[in-house]
Amino acid sequence: MEKHIDKDCIFCKLANGEIPTTSIYEDEDFNVIMDLGPASRGHSIILPKTHAANLYELPDDERIFPIVPDDYCSKIMGVAKKCAAAMKKSLNCDGLNVLQNNGEAAGQTVFHLHVHLIPRYKDDQVNITWKPGEPEEDMGAIAEQIKKGFE
């Protein structure tokens, strides 16, 4: 089955070897490369070799996206686990963020689905946190609204 590649997408070109990268891991579905604008030492990006702009746009049609969507999540998390273990062992990081942004409001700047692996070190200056808020008074109504999205 032929994978879907967007000829204008920089991450498609990086994932599929059209543009040289510093890769830490590669298999038939993913290429994990060092981030050129790292948040921390060892920051890498898991790039699917098949194009989808973001999580919302992962098609169900496996002829377009040959990694079956249900299996995609387990495959990408398997790659994340494998790379995280290698980072922990070799970089002696104290923790690791697995980050996946969808849409500009969420911080996505390249519209090719990808996952960041950000090694964390005690007292680093990486800021991927939020102050927990109070429980929403209308939590039940919000949950019902979200459930309607499954219909």
- Which ranges in 18-138 belong to alpha helices (H)? 69-91
Collect all residues with Cβ–Cβ distance below 8 Å to 121 and sequence separation of at least 6: 40, 41, 93, 94
pLDDT of 137 reads 87
Q: Give the active site residue among 43, 51, 114, 116.
A: 114
For the cut 90, the answer to whether the pLDDT of residue 6 exceeds it is yes
Check if 114 is active-site.
yes
For the cut 60, the answer to whether the pLDDT of residue 1 exceeds it is no
Residue 112 CB coordination number (10 Å) = 22
pTM listed for this prediction? 0.87
Is the CB of residue 108 less than 8 Å from the CB of residue 102?
A: yes
pLDDT of 58 reads 76
The model's pLDDT over 39-50, given as tens digits with 9 standing for 90+, comes to 999 999 999 999
pLDDT of 142 reads 92
Residue 135 pLDDT class (50, 70, 90 cuts): confident
